[in-house]
Amino acid sequence: MTSATQLLASIEGVGRDPRRGGFSRHGFDRVELELREWFLAEAERRGLAVRGDRNGNLWAWWGEPGPGAIVTGSHLDSVPGGGAFDGPLGVVSALSAVDMLRERGFTPAKPLAVVVFAEEEGGRFGVPCLGSRLLSGAIDPDTARRLADPDGVTLADAVTAAGLDPARLGRDDDVLATIGTFVELHVEQGRGLVDLGAPVAVASSILAHGRWRFRFTGEGNHAGATLLGDRHDPMVPAAEMVLAARIAAADVEDARATVGRLVPNPGGTNVIASSVDVWLDARAPDDAATRRVLEKIRTMASDAVHREGCVLTVTEESYGDTVHFEPGLRDRIAAALGGIPVLPTGAGHDAGVLAAHVPTAMLFVRNPTGVSHAPEEYAEPADCESGVTALAAVLGQLAG
Ligand code: GLV
Ligand code: MN
Ligand code: MN
């Protein structure tokens, strides 16, 4: 049996980002394609037959693919400068759990698959959970095909380069129909398990989550020669919008709003920008609360735009409502694992997208600092092994 930690070590050289630190692995880029090759080799080593679906997700089958399958897995892409665990831990734990079940002589009565979803973070094309959204019809394929990365490469171009037919992107009922139950294991992205002193939890819910692009348009001009009163500098309302995000989120219980990306055009030290793109990530316990946060930010940004004589356009790039994982499945899993904790999360997952279509559950593995989406993200090897043991027990029960 290969442990999760050993499997993670086998990809620790792939996609390191010397500039940002950590890893930059994005959907269908050279690095993610290398990780896909790694996954193919690991599946082959285990005699699992890999099939790629129409949307760039990979499925490694133990047994004949068919309805009622028990599916586990996660993603291999990362945020820019991300950690080693968000995504890969779910994939390596799935492979290791297969090893563990086999060593025990277990033969699944139902088909079992390990899945790798494409572009979960949206680190390249902006929309999170792109592979599972396409598969389940949660994004219109025409919209998806037109998504472009920061270099202007469209998703259609990227999947073509990866050997897929962009015309076939979109909801895939044949693949969806094979999934009986989906269980995703993930590193915890918070300190819930640390506080509880437990290595593994089962998920209860995911916050509603949207991403919006605020484009502030002004007048490009000279940083030295343009009098303050003559300026239409879009960076000024953009900066006010960053502060508005904090103010608006603080006003709504358990809401979060983040600006992690801001791009001035053309972007010169001695140039008043002609436009600034600011991406807002806002999350809250339900749809109404998330929309309240957004509207407050939009109002404050509009006022700031008006004062500076600029123009604002807001585009919704993705949205997902609150997810409540199926309580029956969640409670059965918690009980079968000896009454492990049940925890909510503010992070998005492919499991959250699939939960609208199939019985879905998640397991979280303790993260000693709670840090995630950063190079410091971590899980102790012993906790990773607890995660694999828990996942193997769940898969064994569901597929037995
Ligand atoms: C993905 O991890 C997200 O929550 O943005
Ligand atoms: Mn993530
Ligand atoms: Mn993830």
Q: What does the pLDDT read at residue 204? A: 98
Q: How far is the CA of 236 from the centre of ligand 3 (A)?
A: 34
Cα 397 to ligand 1 centre (Å): 29
- Distance in angstroms (rounded) separating the CA atoms of residues 23 and 15: 5
In the chain, where do the E strands start and end? 49-52, 58-62, 69-75, 112-117, 179-187, 200-206, 208-217, 221-222, 256-265, 271-272, 275-284, 311-320, 323-324, 342-345, 360-365
Secondary structure string (H, E, C) spanning 132-156: HHHHHCCCCHHHHHHCECCCCCEHH
> What is the pLDDT, as a whole number, of residue 320?
97
Tokens, residue 302 = 């509009």
Closest C-alpha residue for ligand 1 atom 1: 348
Q: Is the CB of 206 under 6 A from ligand 1?
A: no
128 in contact with ligand 1, CB cutoff 6 A: yes
Residue 372 alpha carbon to ligand 2 centre in Å: 7
Task: Report which bound ligand comes closest to the CA of 281.
Answer: 1
**Would you give per-residue pLDDT tens digits along the chain (400 residues)?**
999 999 999 999 999 999 999 999 999 999 999 999 999 999 999 999 999 999 999 999 999 998 999 999 999 999 999 999 999 999 999 999 999 999 999 999 999 999 999 999 999 999 999 999 999 999 999 999 999 999 999 999 999 999 999 999 999 999 999 999 999 999 999 999 999 999 999 999 999 999 999 999 999 999 999 999 999 999 999 999 999 999 999 999 999 999 999 999 999 999 999 999 999 999 999 999 999 999 999 999 999 999 999 999 999 999 999 999 999 999 999 999 999 999 999 999 999 999 999 999 999 999 999 999 999 999 999 999 999 999 999 999 999 9
- 119 close to ligand 1 (CB < 6 Angstrom): no
pLDDT at res. 225: 98
CA proximity to 188, closest of 10, 373, 36, 328: 373
Q: Which of 121, 125, 133, 319 to mutate to test the pocket of ligand 1 (most atoms within 8 A of CB)?
A: 121
Cα(86)–Cα(95) distance, integer angstroms: 16
pLDDT at 214: 98
- Can you tell me which atom of ligand 1 is nearest the CA of 281? 5
**Strands 208-217 vs 311-320: parallel, antiparallel or unpaired:** antiparallel
Query: Ligand 3 centroid to 120 CA: how many Å?
Result: 7
What is the whole-number distance in angstroms between the Cα of residue 362 and the centre of ligand 1?
14
User: How many Å apart are CA 235 and CA 269, to the nearest integer?
Assistant: 12
Stated as kind and residue range, the H or E segment containing 185 is strand 179-187
Q: Does residue 164 have its Cβ closer than 6 Å to ligand 1?
A: no
**CB of 121 shorter than 6 A to ligand 1:** yes
**Predicted local distance difference test score (pLDDT) of residue 288:** 98
Domains and CATH numbers, the chain: 4-207+322-399 (3.40.630.10), 208-320 (3.30.70.360)
Tokens, residue 343 = 């925890």
